[in-house]
Amino acid sequence: MLGQELVYAAMPGGWEMVVIALVILLMFGAKKLPELARGLGQGIREFKGAVDGVKDELKDVEDSIESEESPDENSPS
């Protein structure tokens, strides 16, 4: 129970998020924010694509292992 309370204590609340957003706005300026957001979005898309690629590879390997382990249904017993 104590560990769960510590996790929630570390998460920023509503006003803290506003302060963080203001600090970011002051640090980078209004002109750089769209470029930063575009770069962040592109990075997230690339990450998701990589994750999907790894999932597809794992699925292919799993299917090939299952096909090797299962006996051929057409062969006589």
Q: How many domains does the chain have?
A: 1
Average pLDDT over residues 35-44: 92
pLDDT at 73: 55
Helix (H) or strand (E) holding 31: none
In a domain, 76, yes or no: no
Helices and strands counted in the chain (H then E): 3, 0
Q: Print the domain residue range for 51.
A: 2-68
CB 57 within 8 A of CB 64: no
Chain centre distance of CA 64: 27
- Please report which confidence band the pLDDT of residue 5 belongs to, taking 50, 70 and 90 as the band edges: low
pLDDT at 49: 95
In a domain, 23, yes or no: yes
Tokens 């309370």 map to which residue? Answer: 5
In a domain, 18, yes or no: yes
